[in-house]
Amino acid sequence: MPFSSLEIFQIEDFDDLSIIQIYPQSETVIELAKNQSSEVYAIAGLPGLDAASSIAIIAETAISALKAVKLLPSGKVGLANSDTLIDASSFYGITVTSTSLPNQTIQVKTQGLLEDSSFNFITNQFVFIDSNGQLTQNQNSSIIMAIGYAISPTKILIKIQTPIIKG
């Protein structure tokens, strides 16, 4: 793809971290952008669409906002648990709304930026899930499930990583 047809949207700079949205989607262009700096994250997507939007899905049980959830065989979501490989490998996203009843619609963010004033993360560190679906920066499980990266104390970039089993 010639670079003349490349369009870059929504450039955001956070200290030493840059986030860009690229259209058309191209893994080569994304890798080139990342190779310029280890602190560049490229989100591919169509202009005018939020490449990091939340998705409405049914929750199997009551779930609070800002919890890590997994996709269940039923097509619903439930709380993710970092203690089991099945849960870690079926991680779906982070709830941005809550439900106090089972079988209700909930909004889940699966990628991109998530900001909340209740977050208090250490900038430039990974964010993990714990055994209760909580977001944490402590790796206190037998399975390490990095689901994002803190770009400020109140913002994370959701970027799901492959689970790692501690030996």
Comparing CA positions, the residue from 143, 74, 60, 139 lying closest to residue 105 is: 60
Element counts in the chain: helices (H) and strands (E):
2, 15
At 88, the pLDDT band (50, 70, 90 cuts) reads low
Which of 11-20, 43-52, 144-153 is predicted with the least confidence, judged by mean pLDDT? Answer: 43-52
Half-sphere exposure of 63 (CA within 13 A, CB side): 31
10 versus 138: the higher-pLDDT residue is 138
Half-sphere exposure of 148 (CA within 13 A, CB side): 29
Average pLDDT of the residues of the chain = 75
Tell me the mean pLDDT in the region 62-90.
86
Asked if the model's pLDDT at residue 47 lies above 50, the reply is no
Asked if the model's pLDDT at residue 137 lies above 80, the reply is yes
Structural domain boundaries of the chain?
Answer: 3-44, 54-109, 112-165
